[in-house]
Structures are given as C-alpha cells and as structure tokens.
Structure 1
Amino acid sequence: MTGRGRNAGLFRFMLVCLIGAMVTITACNSGGNSGNDATSGKGTNNAQSTSNEGQTPDGEGKKDVTLTYWAELGASPSRTLQTYNDALFYQELEKRTGVHIAFEHPAVGSEKEQFNLLIASGKYPDVIEYNFLNYPGGPEKALADNVIIELNDIIEQYAPNLKKYLDEHPDMKKQVSTDSGKMYVFPSIGIGNHGVTGGLVVREDWLKELGINEPKTIDDWTNMLRAFKEKKAASAPFTASLRNLKLSQFNGAFGIGTDFYRDNGVVKYGPIEPGYKEYLTLLNAWYEEGLIDPDFSTQDNAALDAKVINGNSGAFFAYIGGGMGKYLPALQEKDSSSNLAGVQFPILNQGDEPRFINTSYEYRGQGSVGLTSANQKIEETAKWLDYLYTDEGHILKSFGVEGVTFKDVNGYPTYTDLIVNNPDGLSVGDAMNKYLRVATPSVGFVGDDRYSEQYYTYPQQKEAFATFSQYQENAYETRLPLISHTPEEANEIATIMAEVNTYQEEMLLKFIMGAESIEKFDEYVEQLKKMKIDRVVEMKQAAVERYENR
C-alpha cells in the first residue's frame, strides 16, 4: 500500500536518527531507566528484563532502548497472558522498533488501589496507560501534580503521524486537550462506523411463534412483555440487573437521560426532569404487572444468565460479544430453534428516532498513555508510540503478523484459524488477547470495522451491531462532551454527588417497586435540589462552555 510504504520509510528515517541519539545517551547513562529498575518486578505480573538488542526490519542498525510501562492487564487478557510481553503484538513491535517494554501490571481486581499507591509513591515508570479523565481533579491536576507532562511540543517534534491525524481532526484534538490547551496523552482513538456494543435483545423465536413484530414503541414493548408472561409462562419477561436497567434506554423514549445530558446545548440532570417521572411510572407499572424481573435490584450476572438460558426471560440488555455470544449457543444447545435479535432502542411514538444511545466517544480515554515526569527518553518514547498511528502499526496491533494471525485477501486483513478457529480451543476473544491488542482500547486506533466484522461470529451478532449503531450520531447531540473540571470543581462535585447518588438510587428503587408513591416525585426533586444538584448542573454547563472554547 502506498500509505504504508510512506509510513515505513518515515519510521526507518526516524530510527536512523534515533541511533545517533541513543549512542550518546548510552555512553552518558548506561542505566537510563528514569530512576526505576526495570527488572525489579514491581506489581504482580511484571516482565523480567531480557536482552533487548534488535534490528530494524531491514537491518539498519541495533537498538538498546527499554521503557518501563505501567498498564492494567485486565481479567480477559490475564486468561492467556501473564504479561503483555507474552503477546505476539509486543514481541513483533520490539523487533520492528528495537524498543523493549518492561511492563508493570497491577493485580487484576486491585487496579484502582494500585494506581493510587503508584501516584502516592512519587516513583513513576516511563509511561502510564490510564484514563486520566478519571484522575482526581482531571488531566489538568495530573499535569499540575507533575505525574504526567504536557505533550504539545513533543507531539509536534516527534510524533508526525499523530500530529497529522489531530490536525485533520480538530475535534479529536479538543478531546485530548485540557481547557488550557495542553495535550496530555497519546490517545486511544475510535474509528469505524459502529460504536455501540450493547443494547436490548429479545427472543426472536418467541416473536415468530406468537406472531409479534419486533418492538419499536413503548406500547409495543408492553404488549410483547405481556405476551411473554401470559403465553410463554416467562417468570421474568424482562430481566435485568440494577446496573443494566439504567443502560436499557427505556428512558430515552421520554426524552431524558439517566444522568447528566444536553438538551439543545443546555446541561440537564435527567432524574429531576418531568420526563423522568413518566419513565418511573412506566417501570413501576411493569413491575406491578410482573413484566420486570422482581429480582432486578439484587441479582448478579450469574442469576441473570440463568434466567435467559433457562427460558424464564424473553428480553434483556446484553452486550453483543459477551452477552449474545454466550446466550446463543447455550440456548440452541437446549433447543436448536432458539434465536435472538438485537432490537432498536425504544421510542414513544412511531416515526421518532432514538436519541439517547450508549455509543463510544471517539477518544476512548481508557488505554491512552501519558509520559511521566520521570521519563528520560522522551524522544524515543514518542517515536515508538507514534508508530501505532501509522498504517503498519495499526495493522500490527489490530490484525498481527501477516501469515501468522492474518492473511491479506484482496486488501482485506482476514484473521487466520489461529484467531477464529484456535487449535488450542481459545475463543476468538481470548485468541485476540493472546496475540494482538485489539479487543480493548489501547494506544493508536481501535474499533476498525474489519476487526468488528470478524470478531462477531454469529450473523445475529452482526445484525445487532448494525441495529444498535444505526442512530448513534443522534447521541452526539444529547451526551456531554469529554469535559474537564477544575480541581476545585471536581472536589465540590464529588462531595455533592456522593450524597446525591445515594439518595437518587434509593428513591429509584422505591419508585419502581412501589415502596414510594410516584406522587412524591416533586418532593424527591426538591430534596435533590436541597442537596445542591443545581450547583453541579451549573458547573457542568461551565465545563461544557470551556470545552467548546478550546
């Protein structure tokens, strides 16, 4: 490919320049690990130091660069990897760039605590992979705390591929900058045409048996759930956990979000809006009629899974991969005629379009990388990361090594049986985690349609993927942009919302389950206002306006 050839030539040129710099650095500093010992085994699953001498693909010279890299491994990758160094992607990346990565992984399940300990220690690795939008006080505070460094000049000088992309996509540049215009990460950037990975799923075989069309309006949903209860003896026609009930999007039919959202540019808090009362009224009516699972407030994922697989439920919220991909084979093992379909997010009236949709932001946040104040190899780090914004780097990260994990079929990178029919019995997701870095957000580009089309193996999943994403652009008008709060705002919001969230969730359950009359809704709103929810809305509005002015 022409673009790939240009990127390869540019990368070889940068590596030649890097040689000279590294000779000087190596002579002056034989350790050069930012004050951290790459072989010390920090964390629970750290890679031990190995020889990192290597050559560029065409043998232009040897390198000796090691970078320490803190990153969550996560539950899914940890099923096949002890460290990312075990992944084919990082092994091949080292061969191509001559840069060895000494990973520091926190124990799975204690990532947040380990991150806080890392920050408190003041002893940082060269880079940290983290969603700095979640840093206490936001990215601006992370910069002010001297945990990570500003990247504007670094990207300008050493990351031509990322710079070009940001210049061509100014809105992305806004997303990865603070209100003061400071860029702070090498981002994980979403591409492709499908950003919605979960939605409402129904038993399509039940619909056909009962002569019911796929539901669109709230009335359609009510009638369908009644039929499931009365004619299929479903004990929980619609099953859910408390968390995914909030993701189910029934609220969108009433024109409100379940949290902060925008209405014609004005920030609002859904749970105090009039439409929220209508939403609660619907859920209470369904609960009283036995259309919603009575255990929704307490059941865990295992209990929910059992109700779906055992035929106690005919509708539920599910992710396309981990949900439909699990339920379809389990249901069809019991009854080959069983089938599932992803359906459109509900509307109130025929002809309406869904507007409140859980679609991904282009800037993923998660999986992005900040350079720390301890990093003594800024140029080398930036050039290494920039490779992942080239065509070659993207193909390597998402599809792997040609002839091993993919083959080129008329210009379409097609996964081999090592991924889609793994000889060791690994699922497609586990095989991807073992060999690639594509199943979760990471530096570079994510969400390539060519990956998604092959990751979802069942036609029902592919159809659901298209259905859920059909109206995703409508969400851009209702969701908040990726705003940042000042440290002072962040502290005030955290204090207020700790009380608000507790009370709001308590009342949500009471309203749905009938422990509190919906007639008390106005009193509930007044109590939230006493808790200063309007002050939070005001700060959110100010943050949105600052974002728009970046």
Structure 2
Amino acid sequence: MKWKKGAQLLTTVLMVTGILAGCSGGSGNGQAEEKPGGESSGKSSVSATGFPIVQQPITLNFFAGQAASAPPDWNKVEIWKEYAAKTNVNVNWQLTPVDSLTEKRNLLLAGGDLPDAFHTARFTSVDLANYGAQGLLIPLNDLIDQYAPNFKALMEKHPEIKKGLTMPDGNIYSLPTFYDPDFKSVVIGSELWINKKFLSALGMKEPTTTEEFYQYLKAVKTGDPNGNGKNDEIPYAASGVGGLLDQLKGSWGLGNRGNTHPRVDMDPDTGKLRFIPADPKYKELLQYVNRLYKENLFIPEILTIKGNEVLAKGKDGLYGSFMYTNADTFGDHKDDYTGANALTGPGGERLFSRARSPLVDAGAFAITSSNKYPEATMRWADYFYSEEGSTMFFMGIKDKSYVVKPDGSVDYTDEYKADPEFGKKYVTWAGGYYPAMLTAKTFKGGESSPANLEAAKKIEPYYPEEVWPPFTYTQDEVARFTSLETDISAYVEEMTTKFVTGDAPFSEWDNYVATLKKMGLDEYMDIYNQAYERYKKE
C-alpha cells in the first residue's frame, strides 16, 4: 500500500477529534420553525411511515465520495430531484473525488465543520469505532428501531449485518452497502476473464490449474492468437498485481475466510488466525507471480497504469486475460471472454479466495452530531433498503430510465443501454460504496449479465465455507491497531511489489518476515484476535 496523505493524517485526526468531541453539538429536539420560503429549521415533525417524511421542507448537507464513473453533480440527478419532491427532504450534495476522499473526510471530522451525514464515504470499522466514540457520529440503534423498518427487517433476516455493524460499545454508527447473498456475481464483483477466442485459436482448453494458466499466458504472448502476424497480444492486463494475488491465493490454500480480510485468515493446521503475507505459501505465490512478471506476461505498465486506461486499451481486443467486472466496455470484443474458474495450485488446493461478505461496505452512511434532523435523515436513508427504494436507486425513474416488463421484472430503457452518459442523468450508484440493498431483481448493472452469472456459477462450488464480515474494534484498540496496520500494510505492499518485480530477491524472505515481527506483527495479530473473538460471540 502506498503511503497516502489520509493515512499519515490519521494520528493527528485521532488527537484532534478527542478535543472536538466536547464541542460537537446537534440537538435533534424542538419543534419545527418555518423559515421564509416554507423551509423549516429545528426538528420537523417526522412521519413514522409513508411520504412525505416531513410536512415542512428541510435541507440536509451530505458529504459524498464521487467515483470517476459517477455523475459530476448529484444535485442535478433525476432520482434526487424526484426523491426530494416525494419526501420534502432536500439534499445538498457536497462531492469529493474518491482519490482524495479519505483526506478530505478526515479533515472535516478534525475541523468540526460537519455535514449532516456522510454518504458513500467509505468508513472502515476502525473509522466508525473512533469517530463514534468521539461523539462525531451518532449512535443509530434507536433511530433504526423507530424510523428504519426496512433496514430493521433486513437485519433480522441477515444477522451478519448486525454482527458486522455493532461496535464493541454496543452502538451502530452506520448503514452499509448490502448485497443479496444469493446474487453471487455481484458479491464477487471483479472477476478474472479469459479470452475464449484466443483459447480456440491456440487449440487450448480453459485453464483449470495455475500451471495451465501460465502456459496459456505464454501461448498468448508467442502464438499470435489474433492472427495478424504481429506480436501485439497482451497475456494479462490489470491495474496493479493486487487483484491477481487475491485471485490466486486460494490456489495455495490461503484466504480461506474470504477477501473482506485480505491479509488474515484461519490456519487450518493450528486453528489460529494467520497473517497471510508472512506465510511460506504466500512466498510460493509471489514466486509464481514473479515468474509471470519476469517473462513479460503482464501489460508492461501494470504497476502504474490506471483502471480506465486498462479498459481503453481493451477495446483493441488484445487481452488474453484481465481482471475487471466484465468486458462490456470493449465494444466489438465484449463477447470474447469467459469468466475463469478457481484454479488448482501446485499442492492440489482449489479455493475462490476473493469471496466477499455480502456486507460489502460497513460505513456507507453515517449521521453526524451536527444533524438537527436525525429522525428524518434515517427515514430518508431507510427507503433504499426496500425493494421499491432499491429499484429507484439503481434503475432511476420508471418509463424514463427503466421499464417494467409484463412479467414484473425491470430493465433499463433502450436509450439507457445505448448511451453510457444517459444513466448519469438518473442515477449515482456507479463506483459503489453506497447505502442501499442490492438484489438481482433491482440491479441490472454489469454483474447481472449472462456472462457474469455463468462465471459466478462456475466459482460457487469453490467458495469458502465461511466468509468473515468486517470485525469491530474498541476505542482502546483503535489508535494502536490503526498505527500498526498503516505501517505493516505499507511495508507488505512495498515488499510484495519488490518480490514480484525481482527488486528484492527471495533470499530476503526471512529478513522480510523478521522485519514484520519487529514492526509489531504479534501485537497486531493479538488485537485482530480479540476482534475475532468478539465476532464469534455476537
């Protein structure tokens, strides 16, 4: 992991928020007081059910992370206009690019000039424990019980939601991104895709082992599968090697509790938590990926290329394999690919290690202590955990951006499908990390394509028996755990890259592990284990 300004600021933020906690306000009581123009201030009378949520219009300021693929100004997006008219709750969207999200979010929390809520803000469980304990984010338990019938029902149906959201102090400080567990293709997200046209041209079958995958990549590089007489094919393309490492961990028996905790799983030999990047099997995995790198089987700029650049290059049809949601952006070549299965490793192990918890993002929505309308805000957010609200959030406006078919299913309009920019007029979900419930019925994005559904079906038999959701941490644990995780993760990322590229020889492996120990790996794992023990008891 590269050092990021947000991570460097975290220690400062932790100190500053302690000072600010005593100064942060937010009443949440009092009667509605009408402003000129009909808008009210103070607490407005909130309807427990139905719409509008409040009788007199109110305005809320939401801070949100904006992905590059999302609309540039959410204040102009049709669903938010329609929802404001439906609810009498007007939202003033304050957007920041995801590249600077953590830094700007933490600066807001440190400075005390808080929005009413954070939406699509990517809070980790550590963030939630910290800012909740400091009083900057308010507990949502009672608000959920009284004003969130949809989310309350979802928690009752899926107990893992409550386990993943409840902090050690007993409070819930956020609403999550939650995917229907049965909708495996969307839970999986990005997948490894293989060029089936290249396979046919090379006379090869789809790889089922890591050795067959290596042989396929070599054949793509040297066998001219596109038949143009040039050595222009790219065996594997992605932005960075992290996705491939996560994909292949299971071929060495690593990642047996899924990828919500990408560096920690359960050691089957000891029954104790295992730090994956220090395990000898991880060294073997790095040696395998180092072989691919040394033999130039990756896109040359793999360590520096951005994701959008990978997609742009894919339109030329030169990729033998790549890691992404699907090939829908590849134009005439979008149907050239098939989803790869979990691969068997040299020791016979076969596991889909990139499995995620359906509780994809614990910290998608949080209400701050500055919010004068927490009840109305909770009702506003709860709608998107209903089928009706989920349909609106992901599909937009009926008969404008989507249609209802005779069988009751929904689908995007032809205009939406034909023009990628058209959807930005209606929805803001592109980029993920939103507070909403996603199901196969209400979501028709790329993961619902036949190719994605087929890929997920192939992978499902190799899913881990248990996939951990995020763990939670006490206030006493947060500062130390965050400091250790920041330093250890940065060092692991640095050395992983060096081992893959050959800048660090594998003869340095023991020194690498010893350095991790000196950096406090044992203490880090002790805190992790305490969080795991709490998870088991919930």
**1:296-340, CA deviations, whole angstroms, 9 ceiling, x for partnerless residues?**
3344447655765556642222232xxx122343x48xxxxx822
How far 1:149 moved relative to its partner?
0.9
> Is residue 437 of structure 2 the alignment partner of residue 445 of structure 1?
yes
TM-score by length of 2: 0.79
TM alignment of 1:311-390, pairs within 5 A: 313-320=319-326, 324-329=327-332, 331=333, 339-348=336-345, 353-359=350-356, 361-365=358-362, 368-390=364-386
Correspondence for 1:189 among 178, 202, 217: 178
Whichever residue aligns with residue 131 of structure 2, its letter is A
Shift of residue 143, structure 1, vs aligned partner:
1.6
Report Cα offsets for 1:411-448 as digits up to 9, x if no partner: 11222234223xxxx31xx43332124433423312x2
> Is the contact between residue 88 and residue 435 of structure 1 (CA under 8 Å) also seen in structure 2?
yes
Give the drift of 1:372.
1.6
1: CA distance between counterparts of 2:62 and 2:239? 36
Q: Secondary structure at the match of 1:77?
A: coil
Q: Does 1:494 align with 2:482?
A: yes
The alpha-carbon distance between structure 1 residues 350 and 343, as it changes in their structure 2 partners (threshold 3 A), is farther
SS in 1 for 2:194: strand
RMSD: 3.5
Give, in angstroms, the shift of residue 178 of structure 1: 0.8
SS of match in other structure, 1:103: strand
User: SS of the counterpart of 2:291?
Assistant: helix
Looking at structure 2, the residues matched to 546 and 517 of structure 1 have their Cα atoms a distance apart, in angstroms, of 39
Amino acid at match of 1:546: R
The CA distance in 2 between the partners of 1:238 and 1:28, in whole Å, is: 60
Report 1:121-136 matches (<5 A). 121-131=111-121, 133-134=123-124
Q: Which amino acid aligns with 2:200?
A: K
Change in 2 beyond 3 A, CA 1:57/1:416: farther
Q: Which of 146, 155, 158 is residue 147 of structure 2 equivalent to? A: 158
- The answer for the alignment partner of 2:191 in structure 1 is 199
How far the C-alpha of 1:155 sits from its partner, in A, is 1.5
Query: Residue 471 of structure 2 corresponds to which residue in structure 1?
Result: 483
Q: Distance in 2 between matches of 1:318 and 1:391?
A: 28
Match of 2:66 among 69, 73, 77: 73
Distance in 2 of aligned mates of 1:198 and 1:211: 27
Distance 1:312 1:149, change over 3 A: same
Q: State how far apart, in whole Å, the 2-side matches of 1:197 and 1:175 are.
A: 20
- Mark the CA change 1:507 to 1:64 in structure 2 (over 3 Å): closer, same or farther: closer
Q: Is the 8 A contact 1:234 1:311 kept in 2?
A: no
Tell me the residue number matched to 1:392.
388
Tell me the residue number matched to 2:518.
530
Matches within 5 A, 1:50-65: 62-65=55-58
Structure 1 residue 474 displacement after superposition: 5.6
Structural mapping, 1:76-91, within 5 Å: 76-79=69-72, 82=73, 84-91=74-81
Shift in alpha-carbon separation, 1:27–1:543, aligned structure 2, 3 A: same
Whole-Å separation in 1 of the counterparts to 2:30 and 2:469:
45
Measured after TM superposition, the shift of residue 214 of structure 1 is: 0.7
What is the correspondence of 1:166-181 to structure 2 with a 5 Å cutoff? 166-181=155-170
The residue aligned with 1:111 is 101
User: Which of 1 and 2 has greater Rg?
Assistant: 1
Q: In the aligned structure 1, how far is the partner of 2:307 from the partner of 2:62?
A: 33
Q: 1:124-165, CA deviations, whole angstroms, 9 ceiling, x for partnerless residues?
A: 232222546437x43222122211111111211222222222
Give the distance between the partners of 1:58 and 1:229, measured in 2 at CA: 60
Shift in CA distance, 86/348, structure 1 to aligned 2, threshold 3 Å: same
Q: Does 1:140 align with 2:129?
A: yes
CA contact (8 A) 1:342 1:463 kept: yes
Whether the aligned pair in 1 keeps the contact of 2:53 and 2:89 (CA below 8 Å) is no
Deviations 1:222-253 (A, max 9, x none): 22122223312456533444344555512221
Aligned length: 486
> What CA distance in whole angstroms lies between the structure 2 residues aligned with 1:249 and 1:107?
28
- Distance in structure 1 (CA, Å) of the matches to 2:52 and 2:301: 63
Deviation at 1:466, TM superposition (A): 3.2
Q: Partners in 2 of 1:523 and 1:22 — Cα distance?
A: 59
Q: Contact 1:63–1:98 (CA<8 Å) still a contact in 2?
A: yes
Which of residues 443, 446, 463 is equivalent to 2:451? 463
- Could you tell me whether the CA contact under 8 Å between 1:355 and 1:478 is conserved in 2? no
1:174 maps to a residue whose letter is K
Distance 2:164 2:506 in 1: 40
Contact 1:198/1:468 (CA < 8 Å) preserved in 2? no
Query: 2:504, 2:343 → 1: CA distance?
Result: 26
* C-alpha contact (below 8 Å) 1:245/1:317 kept by paired residues: yes
Q: How many angstroms apart in 2 are the aligned matches of 1:174 and 1:67? A: 29
Alignment of 1:423-438 (within 5 A): 426-427=419-420, 430-438=421-429
Q: 1:214 to 1:142 in 2, by over 3 A?
A: same
* Aligned partners of 2:221 and 2:235 also within 8 Å: yes
Of the three residues 398, 413, 417, the one matched with 2:414 is 417
Counterpart of 1:510?
A: 498
Cα distance in 2 between the residues matched to 1:301 and 1:390: 32
Structure 1 unaligned segments of length 5 or more: list them: 1-20, 36-55, 333-337
- Counterpart of 1:404, as a letter, is K
CA distance in 1, matches of 2:35, 2:81: 28
1:344 aligned partner, one-letter code = N
Taking the aligned partners of 1:171 and 1:57, their CA distance within structure 2 comes to 28
Alpha-carbon distance in structure 1 between the residues aligned to 2:367 and 2:313 = 46
- Measure the CA separation in 2 of the matches of 1:177 and 1:211: 53
What SS is found at the alignment partner of 1:189? strand
Query: Is residue 2:266 matched to residue 1:262?
Result: yes
Give secondary structure in 1 for the equivalent of 2:500.
helix
Identity of aligned residues (%): 25
Whole-angstrom CA distance in 2 between matches of 1:59 and 1:350: 60
Q: What is the alpha-carbon distance in structure 2 between the residues aligned to residue 121 and residue 511 of structure 1?
A: 41
Matches of 2:136 and 2:29, distance apart in 1: 25
Q: What amino acid sits opposite 2:372 in the alignment?
A: Q
Structure 1 residues 22 and 99, CA, compared in 2 at 3 Å: closer, same or farther?
farther
Contact 1:138-1:486 within 8 A present in 2 as well: no
The answer to whether the 8 Å contact 2:237/2:319 transfers is: yes
